[in-house]
Structure 1
Amino acid sequence: MLGPLAPKARRRSLWNRAIMRNAVEGEFRGRPEIKRRVHLETLRQFETAAPDRLPVSARVSPADRVVSSRGRMSSGGVLWLTGPAYVESLEQVLFSAELANSLGLRFLRSRAQWPNARPEDSRRHLRSGLKLLASAARHFNLQIVAEVVAPGDIDLLLQYADILEVPAERCGDLTLLQELQHQGASILLHRSPLVGINSFLRYVEVVERGASTVLLADNGIHSWDAGRRASLDVAALAQLRRERPYPLLVNCTALAHDAQDAESVALAAIAAGADGILAEICPCTLKAVPGGVSAASLEGIVLRARALKSTLNAIEHHRLQTIHGGIR
């Protein structure tokens, strides 16, 4: 029992709970395994990481949605970042690079570090994987997109990769984001399905202060369907496009239930306003990894996505001409 001061103590307890619920913005309700106090502590760290509340994109002239990396430009159409899930062999990487080059794509994306490597061998595996990616990319004149998960690997990745990719599970790692902030590198930042838009924009604010180029990747919203990990959040794509001028991509592999869903997800994302697609491809022409794209079907998806993007661009151009009196 609480005694005679129970009403006051209870009011204070309810007030603290209300503050906690508002602070986390309802992102983790129904998920008791996630420690809310950890998220609250993360939000408090933004006072030092990003003291200026006005976004950088609002303080500078918004650039076009163009990808610039080490002097090479890519604009218009659909931006594709494709490649194998993990670097396994030179033959595998060369196959993916040749496929990307044949379709007119300009990026080769893969995880250079094997996930089951022992900690003492991780650095060696990372270097070997990056060398294989660099060899294939150099041969087919592609740019490398490599995943970064630890601050200590940034220096090695910058020797080989054109764009550093922060995966969804690391998007709230302020130690990693602040280290990337000082490197002046090109950054691809993922949004986790468990992270709300407002929180994600705070993470973007940390990165964009020092990055030479920023790309955003959306992994949808957490799905309660047992057969799906996440679902495409069309409203979130629209809000991200309004809030930031950076290229916005959708992770097709994270959203597709199987290989048959990959094309539908990709086309839906383009129709919703995405600037590009991330997809893991399988060298096998008959089957693909779960949620990935087979080599046989990638060409058709790329061509249909380009046609859809061209149609949408033509409609938008016609609309703008009508608004400004260009068409009588």
Structure 2
Amino acid sequence: MIVVLKKGIEDSVVTKIAKRVEEMGLKAHVIVGTERTVIAAVGEKRNGEQETLESYPEVEKVVPILAPYKVASLETKLEHSVVETGSLKLGNGHLGVIAGPCSVESEEQILESAKAVKAAGATALRGGAFKPRTSPYSFQGLKEVGLQYLAAAREATGLSIVTEVMTPEHVDLVAQYSDVLQIGARNMQNYHLLQAVGEIDKPVLLKRGPSATIDEFLLAAEYILDGGNSNVILCERGIRTFEAHTRFTLPLATVPYLKERTHLPVVVDPSHGTGIASLVKPMALAGIAAGADGLIIEVHPNPAEAASDAAQTISTEAFADLMVQCRKVAGALGYKMAEAVGV
């Protein structure tokens, strides 16, 4: 249920009603909007709850939440959310671009990448320190050393860090070095991991699983939100279909569909979504045109020598050109987007 409070209600009253919701055996999520405050009362429905809450004079109305994902639903929060941490800001008209190599390979490589993507206008740096790979013989990442290199790149450039966490046991370690924790596609339904990142005070970028439905995707986000972490970013990174001409199929209809159903920001990953470097630019531009709040792109100073995902990685020069085109599309749609800052 959504408990819609009247305008101008004091914080003490909000706390009182939220406490009453908790006493009913429900979880209370207080959502403060520009117009008014609502409380999402989530849990198993019992008889008489709606009438009890409607009896408070400070309550305007109580409305059932129809979607299976309660806190993520646009029914719960009518305004689209903005996620902001350090240099990264995306959602509700703000377009953020996260760029960098698939894997952190060395301090020199990640520093060079960070300086190049920042100069082109990226607002966050991506890079994998822990790398989940299909083959156990592939490069698995530099782990904590890689996290230290990412932190050094942030110190040198001011860019926020986005990097993947793979297990609940690593959440505190990765959170110590990063600004946004990424949940990879393979872990979208790793519920213990979702619950663990739901308990931290850092934004989470959640990638859609390659075979996940939209409802499954949003319910995975709900695990994080239900834990108390409201800063969730959804990432469409492509799904498996019968097509073989690309690594995955990137369904950009997902973007406007999600934005009709959830207040959470939506970003597009044209690198994983296609698996082909030459397709990254057109699909990135199409993602912005479809209404995405951001992009996450694999960029390397020398893509041919990348330790992972070389085929889908673009060069720093290609990224700079892409950003020029992104600004044109974003400007036409009224997005706010960072300008290039120079070297």
1:18-67 deviations in whole A, cap 9, x for unaligned? xxxxxxxxxxxxxxxxxxxxxxxxxxxxxxxx846461144754444422
1:251 is aligned, of 269, 272, 279, to 269
Partners of 1:88 and 1:233 in 2: CA distance: 31
Distance 1:109 1:152, change over 3 A: same
Q: Which residue of 2 aligns with 1:239?
A: 257
Structure 2 contact 181–203 (Cα < 8 Å) conserved: yes
Distance 1:241 1:66, change over 3 A: same
97-106 or 59-68, larger mean C-alpha shift: 59-68
* Counterpart AA for 2:70: P
Q: Which residue of 2 aligns with 1:293?
A: 314
1:210-265 deviations in whole A, cap 9, x for unaligned? 21411010012323222322222132222211111121111111122422111111
279-288 or 234-243, larger mean C-alpha shift: 279-288
1:55 is aligned, of 70, 77, 85, to 70
Shift, 1:101, TM fit: 1.7
Shift, 1:71, TM fit: 9.5
* Counterpart AA for 1:190: K
Q: Which residue of 1 aligns with 2:338?
A: none
Greater C-alpha Rg: 1
1:131-178 deviations in whole A, cap 9, x for unaligned? 100001111111111101100000101111110000011001111111
The list of structure 1 runs, each at least 4 consecutive aligned residues, that deviate by more than 6 angstroms after superposition, is 285-288
Q: Which residue of 1 aligns with 2:201?
A: 184
Partners of 1:85 and 1:174 in 2: CA distance: 24
Describe how 1:101-180 pairs up with structure 2 within 5 A: 101-113=118-130, 125-180=142-197
State the identity as a percent.
30
- Aligned Cα root-mean-square deviation (Å): 2.6
Q: Which residue of 2 aligns with 1:221?
A: 239
Shift, 1:199, TM fit: 1.1
Matched length: 261
**Higher normalized helix content (fraction of residues):** 1
Structure 1 contact 145–163 (Cα < 8 Å) conserved: yes
1:263-288 deviations in whole A, cap 9, x for unaligned? 11111111111111111112127887
Partners of 2:259 and 2:88 in 1: CA distance: 23
Shift, 1:83, TM fit: 0.9
Partners of 2:181 and 2:85 in 1: CA distance: 11
Partners of 1:94 and 1:273 in 2: CA distance: 31
Describe how 1:2-81 pairs up with structure 2 within 5 A: 51=43, 53=68, 55-58=70-73, 60-69=76-85, 73=89, 76-81=93-98
TM-score, structure 1 as length reference: 0.72
What runs of 5+ residues in structure 2 fail to find an aligned partner?
A: 1-41, 45-67, 336-343
Partners of 1:153 and 1:291 in 2: CA distance: 27
Q: Which residue of 2 aligns with 1:309?
A: 330
* Counterpart AA for 1:237: V
Structure 1 contact 78–306 (Cα < 8 Å) conserved: no
Distance 1:71 1:292, change over 3 A: closer
